[in-house]
Amino acid sequence: MRVTLKWLEKYVEIEESAQEIADMLTLQGLEVSECIPVRPRLEGVITSRIVSLEPHPSSQGLWVCRMETGEQNCTVLCGAQNVAVGDCVPLAVPGTSMPDGKVIEAATLHGIVSEGMLCSELELKLSEDNSGIMKLPADTSPGLEIGRALALEDDVLDVEVTPNRPDCTSVIGIAREVAGFTGQKMDLPVKNDLPLLTGEGVPFSVEILDPEDCPRYTARLLENVERTPGRDLSG
- Residues 156 and 2: beta-carbon distance below 8 Å: yes
The answer as to whether 204 is a domain residue is no
pTM of the complete model? 0.61
Instruction: Count the domains in the chain.
Output: 1
Q: What is the pLDDT of residue 196?
A: 65
**Contact call for residues 223 and 202 (beta carbons, < 8 A):** no
Which one, of 156, 139, 77, lies nearest residue 109 by Cα?
77
Residue 128 lies in a domain: yes
pLDDT at residue 88, as a whole number: 97
- Look up residue 201 and give its DSSP letter: T
Are residues 182 and 12 in contact, defined by beta-carbon separation less than 8 angstroms? yes
Q: What is the pLDDT of residue 169?
A: 93
Structural domain containing residue 118: 45-149
Q: Is there a domain that residue 162 lies in?
A: no
Q: Does some domain include residue 100?
A: yes
Residue 159 belongs to some domain of the structure: no
Residue 126 belongs to domain with CATH number:
2.40.50.140
First to last CA, the chain: 27
Residues ≥6 apart with Cβ < 8 Å to 213: none
Task: pLDDT tens for the chain, 235 residues: list them.
Answer: 899 999 999 999 999 999 999 999 999 999 999 998 887 778 899 999 999 999 999 888 899 999 999 888 999 999 999 999 999 999 999 999 998 899 999 999 888 999 999 999 999 988 899 999 999 999 999 999 998 898 888 899 999 999 999 999 999 999 999 999 999 999 887 666 666 666 677 777 788 899 999 988 888 778 888 887 765 544 4
How far, CA to CA in Å, does 176 sit from each of 25, 77, 147?
Answer: 11, 51, 28
Assigned domain for 224 exists: no
Q: Is residue 184 part of a domain?
A: no
Q: What is the rounded distance in angstroms from the CA atom of residue 4 to the CA atom of residue 7?
A: 5
Is residue 88, in this structure, part of any structural domain at all? Answer: yes
